[in-house]
Amino acid sequence: MKVTKYFLLFFSIICFAHCVDDGKSTRPVYDPTKPVEFSSFLPDSGGVSTQMVINGSNFGSDTSLIKVFVNGKKAPLIGTDGSSLLVLVPVRADTGLVTVQIGKGADMKEVISDKVFNYIFKPAVSTLSGWTDKDGKTDIVDGTLATAQYYKPYWLKFDQNKDLYLLEDSSALRFIDLHNRTVTTKFRMGNGVVRPRTLAFSLAWDTLYVTNDTWDTGGISTVILTKQTNFTTWTSLINSKTCNGSDVHPQTGDYFYTEYDRGFMYKWNKKTRVSETMYRVDDVGWEFNVQFAPSGDFAYVVCVNKHYIMKSMYNRDTKKLEAPSVVCGLRATAGWQDGVGTGARFDNPHQGAFDEYDNFYVCDVNNHCIRKITPKGIVTTFAGRPQTPGYSDGALRDAQFKYPRGIAYDKETKTFYIADEGNSRIRMITIE
């Protein structure tokens, strides 16, 4: 009953926040001559991203004038109708009082709850940004995190400031400014870059490598964008057929990339500007990407359309990747199964992210979940409901994804960001 009540109140606040003044009603305005009242908040306990409704009066409707804190940590404000606020409990808030500040300068008033919010530490899946209309449609729309929309979010990459760059499948390169909570478009596809696949930054963070999949032998396989142009203008770097992935070695800065058509792994020689062949991955027609561990000692080779993952050791003498061996999954065998090594099953694994212990978390696209692979090849389901697509936030195994493709991990906040393609949203998994 309480859940239904919270949902209805949440829905009414969101509707109010998005409605347009029709001339018959006006939005409530904060009146600094009157007191701000804080009567209650619900629920009284929960973990990160719990939706909290704060009841009171004289909140106004201008969200720029409203700040909410849980135990001194700022809580994201979702909406207000003047007498109710909807906020998300911030990460690692711990147990403490809830504070509401309304107004600015001398007009600012502060009210504090008379009871504490009990913080529950637990992993949780939440939604950072993105929404669809009543028919499930979306588009490429810039704006705040609350108003921005995404079209087929596909691959994620952090910059040095821990803001996100997002590739949208065959569509655009977007920039998600997590600090200022805005989303902008860097460029739209076209002029030879029509099917970008992956992103990788140089060690100096001044060059962004973007792979491009084309069937033209002389077509563009890698372009670079530079800090000088604010990563908005690309320049062709490498021409070849069907490039599906690339990465930069975390210590040497050398650039490695793949070729789907003939199944080769290459290293780009910056001095000679020639691609050096290292090895062939099994067979032709293997769609695969390459992702280095933070240590640089090895890279995982994720075979997307053949449903398994290999490990390629890095030779520090030759500065090349050596021929890979299978870590988990069974070649050309799709399915879902947790297990060890070849006993595990995937269905179109895509981008992965390493944590600080060399565990690898990979988006298992057609199984609609996130899988965890330990350094010993033990595969478990980390988040989502296997083979059950949908959209719901919550506990790790209660939450639902729909064709998740991209993932990035921030070890400082212990937060995963997920490009949830089928739901047209950027999701978060917070670990505490």
Give the number of C-alpha atoms closer than 13 A to the C-alpha of residue 240, restricted to the C-beta side. Answer: 23
Could you give the 3-state DSSP secondary structure of residue 91? coil
6's enclosing H/E stretch is helix 2-18
Indicate left, alpha or beta for 136 from its phi (over 0: left) and psi (-120 to 50: alpha): left
Token pair in block for residue 138: 């979306």
Per 3-state DSSP, the chain is made up of helix, strand and coil in percentages (nearest 5) of: 10, 50, 45
Number of C-beta neighbours around residue 299 at 10 A = 23
Cis peptide before 43 (omega within 30 of 0): yes
Give backbone dihedrals phi and psi of 107, rounded to 5 degrees, phi first: -85, -5
What's the pTM? Answer: 0.76
Give, in order, the Cα–Cα distances in Å from 400 to each of 26, 219, 387, 406, 430: 38, 38, 10, 15, 15
**CA-to-CA distance for 9 and 53, rounded, in angstroms?**
8
Residue indicated by tokens 């991203």: 49
Please give the sequence-ordered ranges of beta strands (E in DSSP) within 281-338, or none if there are none. 288-292, 298-303, 308-315, 320-321, 325-329
Asked if 39 contacts 56 with a C-beta cutoff of 8 angstroms, the reply is yes
Q: In Å, how far from its chain's centre is CA 65? A: 29
In order along its 432 residues, the chain shows pLDDT tens digits of 344 444 445 445 445 444 444 445 568 999 999 999 999 999 999 988 889 999 999 999 999 999 999 999 999 999 899 999 999 999 888 899 999 999 999 889 999 999 999 998 878 899 999 999 999 999 999 999 999 999 999 999 999 999 999 999 999 999 999 999 999 999 999 888 989 999 999 999 999 999 999 887 778 999 999 999 999 999 999 998 789 999 999 999 999 999 988 889 999 998 899 999 999 987 778 899 999 999 999 999 999 999 999 999 999 999 999 999 999 999 999 999 999 999 999 999 999 999 999 999 999 999 999 999 999 999 999 999 999 999 999 999 999 999 999 999 999 888 999 999 999 999 999 886
Domains of the chain plus CATH, in order, are: 2-119 (2.60.40.10), 124-430 (2.120.10.30)
CB crowding 179-191: b at 16 or more within 10 Å, else e: eeebbebbbebee
